Chains A and B, each alone.
Chain A
């Protein structure tokens, strides 16, 4: 039975394409193996972040007030800008897959570059957010020490007798530990994604992709979407819920 199908295949298919690895029968099988592998990897990624989400839930449950006070440290406008930037990059990532399928080389190069640029923009905004926090001393654990005049205006408006010292004793450091761990790990994923997009760009320049062979573009886009989705959760959880 097995031999029968194989003979069949060898009649209809042209010679082995050069992109086909030795242990696959055809490009279709190769493409879907890569894709399934990527989906499993994404499942793994989700569980990896789950640990952090659980830690967030536990500490939020135990320190409701703290999360309430501290979320004002995070500028929701910057967060919103970054959300939009990432959403656009997801669009260009998906678009790059379409370009690869249609063998539109220029389109592919442009969309890959745009995705990279958006990711870069995201990191630039992150950089400003981080440096501001480091500057006023809104940092993790025992190192948290913010002068009262540096507290966010909205916080002081509602709770005029709040001081930096009070926040510190309440354990604001824990909030920022969680904040930096979650956004930091996400940021690392963005950086990795940027690296991979450079790699894709070089391969696209060399003309590696065609309508039968574009698995790498597709799989990286999948990865990029998960990075995006995780941010979609981080943004409201950290910046918006008070």
Chain B
């Protein structure tokens, strides 16, 4: 990299205005594709995951654009097609949902940024179980291949939930079996990641770092991992049974063989509701880091945020019935599930309040990640509150399976999770690649995403309350305006993402060299080089609080933020005294 200078100043606080990156880092240490494919380095695995989930995001996005385009005009009885037949429309929304959920949003943040950042935030050299980590990546790829098989063999039209009876009443359908297999395998990839994270956080914390000294991102990943390990096996067995019942024609869920389709829904949501917290908890973790870093203020309510993650994970296990209020489940069960669902809003709100309190009197720096951070607060607010509308049983009868539900979960999944994903990518991009992205284009794209997103989904709330059902290729004329606004919004959102991919790739070649700590953040990964060494740190990082921003001082654009000399000195003396 820059100039090929090997040495770096021993004392990070010394040295002039130039930052000299490592000549040999994790990227160029070993060469060749073969080396990447069997690497045990968590950073390389994280990067490969990042590439893979981004590919999934773009693929899922393509289907979204197609289905929104179909909805641009109402379609008439004589001419129902705008761009595609009704059959293809069904396939579009199924593939959109399935790709986005299983390939992008569930592995998204933990497998990419979690993999890369988690060991570094602990000052560790790797995850505790590197081989398990590699296996998880390979399982992800195998799962993806099965999904691509679904595409190649002509798609699937059951909706992403793969419910029977949509998925039954026909001969064995290869694409369906492929989809079940894909999700089954991806589930194990997810379990292995979660298991590895828990072990790493328990066993590889450095001396001097208790659980409460971990960055909140790690608490969020911890809660996520608990869900991954405990909920995912249930979808595994559900889909495993589904495969078996299709192949051997036995009735577990399939009604035509005497099975119980509602039991499938129970099993499915027993996983898939917790799974929405697999999606959103890591996003909340990224969010906590972004908000604190760019307010330059110790995060407000550390323990409250940490424990609310655990509370969300725990309560998340007992609310699945809110997806089934109209499935014929007993009213008593409905009332209990409704109550429990209200409960889950409390820890969610605790987080939002704490972020807002962190902003209060902070010195806010509107860098690109922070714009995503602010988007998140607002969009998660809307998404979470509309969840409560849906959680009250009487409302739900009216709103179930309408665009209101669509808008609700896109507010949380796209509004929150995609925002945090993009925010996290920008936050850690300098660390991962050693390059700065263009701040100007970053902000432009962030604003596109925000505006496009709101335009795409706010009208859907209105359309939903007026009775527009989900999953229809055509609609009554009165809904035209909502659908058209929504489609334009989707295009804007897509444009924002395309701009991003462009300038991020551009920065890889033309971007400025990033300093080790461009933001003045205080968790341990910022004490490594950009990009880091193969073993993460060339010298043991100084363990300190993740939000002790006062330990850092700004030197210059090239050097970024460095640890204050007195901090380094005190630590050295302390270490000697201890000895």
Contact = CB atoms under 8 A, between A and B. Distances in A.
Interface of A: 1-8, 21-23, 29, 32-34, 36-37, 40-41, 43-45, 47-52, 54-55, 58, 140-143, 171, 173-174, 177-178, 181, 185
Contacts of A185: 240
A141 B248 contact: yes
A8 B249 contact: no
Nearest to B257: A141
A46 to B, nearest CB: 8
A32 B208 CA distance: 19
A19 B47 CA distance: 28
B-side interface mostly:
helix
Interface in B257-292: 257-260, 263, 267
B431 to A, nearest CB: 19
Contact of A51 (B130, B229, B237): B237
Interface size class of B (residues with CB under 8 A): 35 or more
22 contacts: A2-B575, A3-B575, A5-B578, A7-B579, A21-B130, A36-B202, A36-B203, A40-B195, A44-B233, A47-B234, A48-B234, A48-B237, A51-B236, A52-B241, A140-B248, A141-B248, A141-B250, A143-B249, A171-B251, A173-B250, A177-B248, A181-B241
Interface in B510-560: 535, 540, 542-543
Contact of B263 (A1, A3, A6, A58): A58
B249 A141 contact: yes
A1 B208 contact: yes
B299 interface: no
B203 A171 contact: no
Contact of B198 (A4, A23, A40, A173): A40
Interface string B486-499: 00000000000000
Interface of B: 119, 123-130, 132, 191, 195-196, 198-200, 202-204, 206-208, 229-234, 236-238, 240-241, 244-245, 248-252, 257-260, 263, 267, 535, 540, 542-543, 571, 574-576, 578-579
Nearest to B266: A54
Contact of A1 (B231, B244, B574): B574
A171 B233 contact: no
Contacts of B250: 140-142, 173-174, 177
Contacts, number: 134
A58 B560 CA distance: 62
B125 A40 contact: no
Contact of B244 (A7, A43, A173, A181): A181
B554 to A, nearest CB: 26
B264 to A, nearest CB: 10
A52 B200 CA distance: 31
A21 B535 CA distance: 13
Contacts of B260: 58
B195 A177 contact: no
Contacts of A4: 575-576, 578-579
B249 A142 contact: yes
Nearest to B128: A33
Contact of A44 (B130, B191, B241): B191
A33 B129 contact: yes
A173 B15 CA distance: 78
Contact of A49 (B126, B237, B257, B540): B237
A173 B251 contact: yes
B199 A36 contact: yes
A44 B190 CA distance: 12
A228 B494 CA distance: 53
B195 A34 contact: no
Contact of A33 (B203, B207, B236): B203
A36 to B, nearest CB: 5
A8 B579 contact: yes
Nearest to A178: B252
A6 B540 contact: yes
Nearest to A51: B237
Nearest to B259: A174
A41 B237 contact: no
B125 A22 contact: yes
A205 B230 CA distance: 36
A29 B119 CA distance: 15
A51 B267 CA distance: 7
B203 A1 contact: no
A2 B524 CA distance: 13
Contacts of A40: 195, 198-199, 229
Contacts of A37: 128-129, 132, 195-196, 199
A180 to B, nearest CB: 8
